[in-house]
Structure 1
Amino acid sequence: MSPAKVQAIHLLEGEWGKPGCTICWNFCIDGAPKVAKEVIEDIDNTKLSTTFKVIEGDLMEAYKSFKVIVQATPKGHGSVVHWTLIFEKLNENIPAPTAFLDNAVDFTKDINAHLTQAKA
């Protein structure tokens, strides 16, 4: 759905879509290949949200901790997706992860385009 942003997602441990599973993402930010190993910490079916905790990979070179919460809020015949990043920088010289967030927004737009096209 978004090959320019995400090249591969591999299940390393556990069951797909279940809390506790470990996933490896291969993705690009600003054209540079990145890797993130994440654990799904929580899936809230009431809030329609999933919380990912990054445990290894390129992001951990700049951040002590990094979590991503993706939440879908129903709207009309679709949903609005909210991305929340919770992070702690290794030091004050590390920039905020705006490129990661920009990538997430573009990734969401690509998924929307794919789903909209599939409905047509």
Structure 2
Amino acid sequence: MALSGGGNNNSYKLETVEAEVEIKSNADKLYKVFSNQHHAFPKASSDHVHDVVVHEGDWETSGSIKLWTYTADGNVEIFKEKVEIDEANKWVSFTALEGHVLEQYRSYKIIFQVTPKSGGGGLVKITIHYGKLNDNDPPPHKYLRFAINVVHDMDAHLLKE
């Protein structure tokens, strides 16, 4: 799995943090939002995501690039990412190209995998692969918390529809 952003030095250690979030809404609908309806995030998660705009490509195509404006731990940040979509396995990844996250990490890729449960709802596995710029930089727990909050917000939003 190739990670990009912050240079091409492969001599650093890749690390991972992850979490699982139980959802009550329709897992297929949630996956669809994460894969190709990013424009829905500011409405569903306005405390966390302020804006998402297409920089290159479109809303629906793997390889498209988007610019996000969001708040993590009380700070407004930006995140320019390249999206990869795997319909068969219901996962979406966002690889950092530019933004605040690359101030601490030479590489950063977040993956959301949605698994439906029989009887409704599902599970969202959030995985962040990252390489630290400096050994003393902390793991990206603030970004994992942010992602968990966004999943909860979107789940609640879809339950109201």
Q: What's the TM-score, normalizing by structure 1?
A: 0.94
Return 5+ residue gaps in structure 1 as ranges: none
Give the gaps of 5 or more residues in structure 2.
1-43
RMSD of aligned Cα (Å): 0.9
Separation of aligned partners in 2, 1:54 and 1:83: 15
Measured in 2, the distance between the counterparts of 1:86 and 1:17 equals 23
Please name the residue that 1:72 is paired with. Answer: 114
**Runs (4+) off by over 6 Å:** none
Do residues 102 (structure 1) and 145 (structure 2) align?
yes
TM-score by length of 2: 0.71
- The structure with the greater share of residues assigned to strand is 1
**CA distance in 2: counterparts of 1:77 and 1:31, whole angstroms:** 34
**Map of 1:1-120 to 2, 5 A cutoff?**
1-40=44-83, 42-75=84-117, 76-118=119-161
Between the aligned partners of 2:63 and 2:109, the Cα distance in structure 1 is 14
For 1:111 and 1:15, the matched residues in 2 are separated by 21
**1:54, distance to aligned residue in structure 2 (A):** 0.4
Aligned residues: 117
